[in-house]
Structure 1
Amino acid sequence: MIENWNISICGLNCSKCDIYLASHGDQAILKELLDYFKEQRNEIVNPDSFVCNGCRSSNDVHWSSDCKMRACALNKNLNYCFECTDFPCSLVNKFGSDGMDHHRRTIENSKKMKKIGLKAWIKEQKLKDKCFFCP
Structure 2
Amino acid sequence: MKDMIGYCGLDCEKCDAYLATINNDQALREKTAKLWAELNNATIMPEHINCEGCRMNGAKTVFCDSLCEIRKCALEKGVSTCGDCSEVETCSTVGAIISNNPAALENLKERTL
Q: In the TM superposition, what is the alpha-carbon distance from 1:37 to its structure 2 partner? A: 5.0
Instruction: Check the 8 A contact 2:7/2:70 in 1, yes or no.
Output: yes
* Structure-2 residue corresponding to 1:92: 94
CA distance in 1, matches of 2:105, 2:17: 24
RMSD between superposed Cα atoms in Å: 3.1
Report the Cα offset of residue 114 of structure 1. 4.9
Larger radius of gyration: 1
Q: Read off the aligned partner of 1:111 and give its amino acid letter.
A: L
Identity %: 32
Question: What stretches of structure 2 of length at least 5 have no aligned partner?
Answer: none
| TM-score in terms of structure 2 length | 0.71
Choose between structure 1 and 2 for higher RCO, CA contacts under 8 A separated by at least 6 residues. Answer: 2
CA shift digits 1:24-72 (9 cap, x unpaired): 31233123224435666676643211121211246x8322222111111
Instruction: Give CA deviations for 1:70-105 in whole Å, capped at 9, x if unaligned.
Output: 1111122211112211112111124446xxxxxx11
Q: What stretches of structure 1 of length at least 5 have no aligned partner?
A: 98-103, 121-135
The change in CA–CA distance for 1:61 and 1:91 in structure 2 (over 3 A counts) is same
Return the alpha-carbon distance in structure 2 between the equivalents of residues 72 and 17 of structure 1. Answer: 21
Letter in 2 for 1:71: K
Tell me how many residue pairs correspond in the alignment.
Answer: 108
Aligned equivalents of 2:80 and 2:53: distance in 1? 13
- How do 1:35-114 residues align onto structure 2 when only pairs under 5 Å count? 35-37=34-36, 45-57=44-56, 61-63=59-61, 64-65=64-65, 66-88=67-89, 89-96=91-98, 104-105=100-101, 108-114=102-108
Residue 15 of structure 2 corresponds to which residue in structure 1?
17
